[in-house]
């Protein structure tokens, strides 16, 4: 895969200090989502599905994450579209997704 220089928009710094989406998006505060997220974490035994770390003693550090992002049309309440990720793995995934989005909007056909 060819690496591509990514032009950084001028608001990079602002977007870095912006609070995570989950704090601002009312969807993540909804009772329906919170109940489903708690259920899924329990069912999957509080493990990060990317690195396998055990979060049974600190479930609040585990994130129920949409595999296909809601903004990309991913199902909001489908357990098959939800994975448990620790914060580190979630950040990695988010960074990757952001890069992929930029590559797409730059007109790259990468995959
Ligand atoms: Zn992890």
CATH number at residue 89: 3.40.1800
31: left (phi over 0), alpha (psi -120 to 50) or beta: alpha
7 in any annotated domain? no
Specify the number of domains making up the chain.
1
Residue 101 in domain:
yes
Ligand 1 centre distance from Cα of residue 11 (Å): 28
Predicted local confidence at residue 105, as pLDDT: 84
How many whole angstroms from 107 Cα to the centroid of ligand 1?
31
From the CA of 63, how far away is ligand 1's center (Å)? 10
Which CB contacts under 8 angstroms, 24+ apart, belong to 58-67?
61/86, 61/87, 62/86, 63/22, 63/87, 63/90, 64/36, 64/37, 64/40, 65/90, 65/93
Structural domain boundaries enclosing 95: 24-105
**Which residues on neighbouring strands pair with residue 52, listed in sequence order?**
none
17-61, pLDDT tens digit by residue?
Answer: 665 554 578 999 999 999 999 999 999 999 999 999 999 999 999
Q: Is residue 8 domain-resident?
A: no
Q: What is the pLDDT of residues 56-110, one digit of tens each?
A: 999 999 999 999 989 889 999 999 999 999 999 999 998 998 898 889 888 655 4
Inside any domain, residue 16: no
Q: How far is the CA of 98 from the centre of ligand 1 (A)?
A: 18
109 CA distance to ligand 1 middle (Å): 29
Rounded Cα distance, 77 and 2, in Å: 36
């Amino acid at each position: 895969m060819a690496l591509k220089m990514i032009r950084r928009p001028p608001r990079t710094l602002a977007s870095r200090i912006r609070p995570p989406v989950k704090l601002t998006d009312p969807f993540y505060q909804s009772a329906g989502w919170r109940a489903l997220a708690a259920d899924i974490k329990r069912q999957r035994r509080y493990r990060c599905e990317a690195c396998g770390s055990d979060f049974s003693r600190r479930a609040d550090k585990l994130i129920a994450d949409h595999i296909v992002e809601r903004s990309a049309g991913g199902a909001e309440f489908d357990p098959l579209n939800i994975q448990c990720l620790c914060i580190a793995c979630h950040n990695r995934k988010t960074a990757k997704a952001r890069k992929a989005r930029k590559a797409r909007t730059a007109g790259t056909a990468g995959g």
